[in-house]
Amino acid sequence: MEKMLQEIKELKKEKNAVILAHYYANDSVQEAADYIGDSYYLAKIAKESDADIIVFCGVLFMGESAKILNPDKTVLMPDLTADCPMAHMADIEKIKKMRENYEDLAVVCYINSTAELKRYSDVCVTSANAVKIVKSLPNKNIFFIPDENLGRYVKELVPEKNVILNDGYCHVHADMTASEVKMLKEKYPGALVTAHPECRQEVLDLADFIGSTSGIINFVSGSDNNEFIVCTECGVGYELRRKNPDKKFYFVGKSCCDNMKKNTLEKLIHVLKTGDNEVTVDDDKRTESLVSLDRMLELAK
């Protein structure tokens, strides 16, 4: 592994490339990255970067967002088939119908969505800023796509709005159950429960803290507690352990995202060497989806 990390370092310098990795990527890939973070942080970093090449170790909507924000840069991904199934779980026709039904509708699009969906939306959000952004909108009626669980979480925290839910979901988080969390609680009674808002309501009901991946990492790092049940994707364990070597973490069930794990050091070296796997977004789609992404960056400040 050391040899591969060294090779990546040299290639990065030679190509003026920067490596961004989501907290869900493999440990070795996070080790090779210049920036590791949640979706919101990585979108901001992508926009601020002055490298010629951005290598995005995440899933396709993340690489696409980086390209939309940086049309003049080359955005590469170690594996272009690393896609988030939830990113496709909303329907343009349904959005159009909803707009007909509500005159003042704002379509709020979780960043975990295709560029095509972003194009039909008014503003993007991530799990780190969804509540803040929905609160700040002048619209009363909100159609939240694609994730039902994050939408429901926002609806509960912003009761003054009429948040209409869509039926998309993340299979990794939606597969976690209250009985699994309760079993872990019985085994480790001193552990605090942390959960990503993509989890089902029955899991969120058991949580001591609910937040995005970076929210969970900050909560754990600032807590005096020593044990945590973590209801999110297993890759977060890398940063949790790095920041908190003396604390213990218990993950729920099969909590790994196969798509995120498609990012490997071998593929990272390959794209750095060859320039393969370039992310492209056609011009019309790019300029139209940029509006909702830029609005997110503005409102989340």
The answer to whether 240 and 5 have CB atoms below 8 angstroms apart is: no
Tokens of 245: 């070597």
263 part of the interface to ligand SF4, by CB under 6 A: no
Q: Is 212 in the site for ligand 13P (CB under 6 A)?
A: yes
Chain-centroid distance, C-alpha 198 = 10
Minimum CB separation of residue 287 from ligand SF4 in Å reads 26
Amino acid found at 216: I
CB neighbour list of residue 179: distance below 8 Å, 6 or more residues apart: none
Q: Nearer Cβ to ligand SF4, position 161 or 262?
A: 262
Residue 113 binds ligand 13P, judged by CB under 6 A: no
Question: Alpha-carbon dihedral of residues 242, 243, 245, 249, nearest 10 degrees?
Answer: -90
Would you say 287 and 115 are in contact if contact means Cβ atoms under 8 Å apart? no
- Burial letters for 83-97: b for 16+ Cβ neighbours within 10 Å, e otherwise? ebbbbbbbbeeebee
126 binds ligand 13P (CB under 6 A): yes
Which of 260/296 has CB closer to ligand SF4? 260
Contact status: 59 vs ligand SF4 (CB under 6 A)? yes
Where b means 16+ CB within 10 Å and e means fewer, 246-284 reads: ebebbbbeebbbebbbbbbbebbbbbbeeeebebebeee
If the CB atoms of residues 149 and 277 are measured against ligand 13P, the closer one turns out to be 149
Site string for ligand SF4, 80-119 (x = CB under 6 A): ----xxx-------------------------x-------
Q: Where are the alpha helices (DSSP H) in 70-147?
A: 92-101, 115-119, 130-136
Q: Which of 49, 112, 114, 129 binds ligand 13P (CB under 6 A)?
A: 112
Q: Which is nearer to ligand 13P, 265 or 296 (CB)?
A: 296
170-209 residues near ligand SF4, rule: CB under 6 A: 170, 172
Check: CB of residue 194 under 8 Å from CB of residue 239: no
Selection from ligand 13P, ligand SF4, none that 85 binds (CB < 5 to 8 A by kind) is: ligand SF4
User: How far apart, in Å, are the Cα atoms of 157 and each of 59, 88, 160, 184?
Assistant: 28, 26, 9, 27
Of the candidates 154, 84, 78, the residue with the CA atom closest to the CA atom of residue 117: 84
Burial 191-213 (b: 16+ CB within 10 A, else e): bbbbbbbbbbeebbebbeebbbb
Residue whose CB is less far from ligand 13P, 213 or 292: 213
| Minimum gap (Å) between residue 272 Cβ and ligand 13P | 24
39 binds, among ligand 13P, ligand SF4, none (CB under 5 to 8 A by kind): ligand 13P
Find which of ligand SF4, ligand 13P, none residue 180 binds, CB within 5 to 8 Å per kind: none
Q: Any contact of residue 263 with ligand 13P (CB under 6 A)?
A: no
- Residue 38 lies near ligand 13P (rule: CB under 6 A): yes
| Nearer Cβ to ligand SF4 (134/197) | 197
- Shortest Cβ 56–ligand 13P spacing (Å): 13
> Given the rule CB under 6 A, which residues bind ligand SF4?
24, 59, 84-86, 112, 170, 172, 233, 257, 259-260
Residues that bind ligand 13P (CB under 6 A): 38-39, 112, 126-128, 170, 198, 212-213, 233
